[in-house]
Chain A
Amino acid sequence: DAEITQSPRHKITETGRQVTLACHQTWNHNNMFWYRQDLGHGLRLIHYSYGVQDTNKGEVSDGYSVSRSNTEDLPLTLESAASSQTSVYFCASSETLNTEAFFGQGTRLTVV
């Protein structure tokens, strides 16, 4: 079955370190998205991509970057981790712009 997987599921890192969260989908979806989830804020969009070599900033993109070198993967990089980036991160993909978004199981990141 097609799926979307995130790794790692849990990570603890130190302030100032570079961290990369992986997202891999096997649906061959063009659209991929990264959200962060914090209590009281719901999910907020960080970055998104509509296809290979395409990346765009979302609502809360400062301190994050993404790259899209193939259809299946959209890694999220925290250039210099900060305590404010402690959160649960979700990757999602969709086939077209008007169809259902499928979410991964999330990565819980703690920056100490």
Chain B
Amino acid sequence: TQLLEQSPQFLSIQEGENLTVYCNSSSVFSSLQWYRQEPGEGPVLLVTVVTGGEVKKLKRLTFQFGDARKDSSLHITAAQPGDTGLYLCAVSTLQGGTSYGKLTFGQGTILTVHP
């Protein structure tokens, strides 16, 4: 069983459309990260959300952390071809409240935005 369930796994849309990617779990997390990965490259951090209900915006990307800190969403407004890539959510492994820096990732969402 995956700790983090991402959906959808694949998303193919036209330029200008809006989309939402979900990251769900039955566990509670102190923080959650979203990464974007382009072909042939490593993941790059987009944002870290730490407070239940928190909303962060990065240009056309809006990230939300669930009130119970069990889930998160990434919403892209007016998608562009440059948004194409693999989007990954990740959480740090905790023991006794201390983050050990080890990341557990969701399976990822492959987004393709067509011109």
Contact = CB atoms under 8 A, between A and B. Distances in A.
A98 B99 contact: yes
A86 interface: no
A82 to B, nearest CB: 23
A101 B101 contact: yes
Contacts of B108: 42
Contact of A58 (B6, B41, B88, B102): B102
Interface residues of B, number: 26
Interface of B: 4, 6, 9, 31, 33, 40-45, 48, 88, 90, 92, 98-108
Interface of A: 31, 33, 35, 40-45, 48, 50, 58-59, 90, 92, 94, 96-98, 100-101, 103-106
By Cβ-Cβ distance, the 5 closest A-B pairs, closest first, are A103-B42, A42-B105, A97-B101, A43-B105, A42-B107
22 contacts: A33-B101, A40-B107, A41-B107, A42-B6, A42-B106, A42-B107, A42-B108, A43-B103, A45-B103, A48-B102, A90-B42, A97-B92, A98-B101, A100-B33, A100-B45, A100-B48, A101-B45, A103-B42, A104-B42, A105-B41, A106-B40, A106-B42
